[in-house]
Structures are given as structure tokens and as C-alpha cells.
Structure 1
């Protein structure tokens, strides 16, 4: 690792975010602290507070990386039908829950300290995911209102998320040991047929 004075602010930010991701992957979110992040990269906690506002800021920045990776993988192919895009998005989502469980969970389990508001820049990151789902839903039923599309996208993705949670925690046995992909296929087929007015 380079000497401390050789790291720019941006480089230090990158090192710290990767340290958060590594520490959470190794030990879980509950054991994360600014001090442990600083120790991992050879800095003092005080130095990190010159780059990040607090632990919440560090976690949100790391979560933003996870969301960007998820969005990139979910939208890798856009030359397919809306149904195929939704199918790919759902499979990628569940796969990340399986393969990067700790980081995936950090996006949903982290709560801001002292009831602080989630910053607008981060809300825009999460909105970008839903906008992809909404675009596909709109293409399948063009007569639906914006409010109906908004609701349907979140209803569908809430169901996908439920399957992902069961997969991540290896709790699919409580659903009768059904394959997660079969569950996704059934969910997407029946919900989207209903949404598109098909039988």
C-alpha cells in the first residue's frame, strides 16, 4: 500500500469503501465501525472523518457500489423483450442475494443513526433500479396509469425480494424446498400475464 501522504482524497475514499465491503463480507454489518475501517487501510479514524461525514456515509457509499453493480448486471442486455429483461433482472437479483449475501443484505438492513434522513443522492440510486422495472411494466400494459405502474413495479419486486431473502438465508425449505428459479418463473409468468391482461 502506498504511504498515507501519497493517497488523494478520492483514492482514500476508494480504499475505505473497499474496506467496508471486505469487512462486512467477512464479519457482517453489525461489527463494522469507522475504527475498523481505518485500521484495515492503515489510517486513523480521524482521517476518515475528513472524507466521510460518519459511519452512515461510509455504509451508503459502499451500498451505492453494490447498487451500481446490481444495476449494471441487471441491464447488461437491453436488446430483449420486456418480459425477458424482467426475467434477467429477477435472476440477477436473487443470484446476488445468494453469492454476495452480506453486501446484498447491507443495502436493506442498514438504518441511519439518530433517525437521520437518507440523502437524496442515495435515493436516486435506488430509484434507478425501480425505474428499470417500471419501464418494462409500462411496455407490457401501455394503458396503465403512472400510479398503477409505480405500484405494480414495487409489488412485483417486493415478491422477488421475498424469494431472494429466502434464498440468501437458505430458508427455501420452509416453502416446501422449492427451487428458487421455479418460484421466480411462476411469479413472473402469473403476475405479468395478469398485468398484461393475458390468459
Structure 2
């Protein structure tokens, strides 16, 4: 078993999070435990608890890492056309869930066993995701106030997330000529068309 001083604290944390990702990819969320992570990196469970206060903390940090990865991909979308940007962000979200299904599930299925609030850094990551959508909507609808813009960004995300969840669960029940991408494109276009009408009548 490795000694604690064989790696820096940051190196050990990176090893632990990478191992945790591999474990949930191979065994699902139910297979994750601090003991398995410690065994995978060759350290004791006690050494692991110098980095994570408990399994909840490990899961929160995994989620923060997952959101960072997702946001890095979303930020690569061309923002020149806000409509195309929204469609691109939704496409990346669906593709991410398909590529990393267990990490995506952990974002929404992990429930803390304690009364600890959501960590600040994780809240910041989540806020960054919505700010990106808000930015696209601000350029499309410059006259709406902040509250309305935030409301619309949540409506958009809820629709895309629901579609992604159904696709991930094989519960879309699509006819042969239809794809999840068809629904995604039409969903966003329809919402924007409705909001365009509201803007013209305002």
C-alpha cells in the first residue's frame, strides 16, 4: 500500500476522483464506496478521509468535476447565433449523458445522507450552466427582465433534461422515422417561437 507522502494532496485527490469515475462507469452508482476507491488507488480509507469528509463529499466533488467537464464542452459552442448556440448546448448535453451515463445520473440521483447544504463550488458550477443559457436569451429578448430570463432558461433546460432522461431510459417510444434530435430541435424552436410572439404583442 502506498504511503501518504508518495503523492501530493492534489495528486491523491485527482487519483481518487478518477478512480471513482471508473468505478461508477463499470459498476454503476450502487457500486461506489470509499473503500473501493481507496483500494483502487492503493491507499487506506483513512488517507482518503483526509481529502473527503465522507462519501457524500466525494459524490459532491465528483459532480463538480462532471459539471466542469460539461461546461468546458458547452463553452466551445459558437455563440454568434444565439438560437444555434442554444441548439448546440442542448445537443452537447444529450451527447454528454450518452457518453457518461453514470456520471450524468449521479448529478441528479445523489441525495445526501446528512443535512449538509449543497457546497458553494458546486452551486457556482450549476449557476454557470444557467448563466450561459441566460446569455443566449438576453440577446434574443433584450427587453425582458432578469427574472423572466431566468424563468425561460429553466423552462428550456427542463424540456431538454426531460427529453434526455426519457432517451436515456429508452422511454421515448419513437416511431421509426423520428429521432430524439428531431424532438430537441422542434422543442427549442417551438419555445422560442412562442416567446417571439409574446415579445411582438408586448
Task: Give TM class, smaller chain.
Answer: over 0.9
Cα distance in 1 for partners of 2:87, 2:2 equals 44
Q: Deviations for 1:90-125, whole angstroms, at most 9, x for unmatched residues? A: 000011111211111111111112232111111001
Q: CA deviation at 1:65?
A: 1.5
Q: CA deviation at 1:69?
A: 1.2
In 2, are the aligned partners of 1:52 and 1:58 still within 8 Å (CA)? Answer: yes
Cα distance in 1 for partners of 2:114, 2:52 equals 17
TM-score by length of 1: 0.93
Most deviating of 29-38 and 147-156: 29-38
TM-score by length of 2: 0.92
Equivalent in the alignment of 1:130: 130
Equivalent runs, 1:178-189 vs 2, <5 Å: 178-189=178-189
Equivalent in the alignment of 2:52: 52
**Structure 1: runs of 5 or more not aligned:** none
Cα distance in 1 for partners of 2:63, 2:103 equals 7
Q: Deviations for 1:121-180, whole angstroms, at most 9, x for unmatched residues? A: 11001110010001111111111111100111001100000011012122221x556411
Q: CA deviation at 1:80?
A: 2.3
In 2, are the aligned partners of 1:112 and 1:118 still within 8 Å (CA)? Answer: no
Cα distance in 1 for partners of 2:61, 2:134 equals 25
Equivalent in the alignment of 1:195: 195
Cα distance in 2 for partners of 1:78, 1:189 equals 18
Equivalent runs, 1:20-169 vs 2, <5 Å: 20-169=20-169
Tell me the C-alpha RMSD between the 2 structures. 1.9
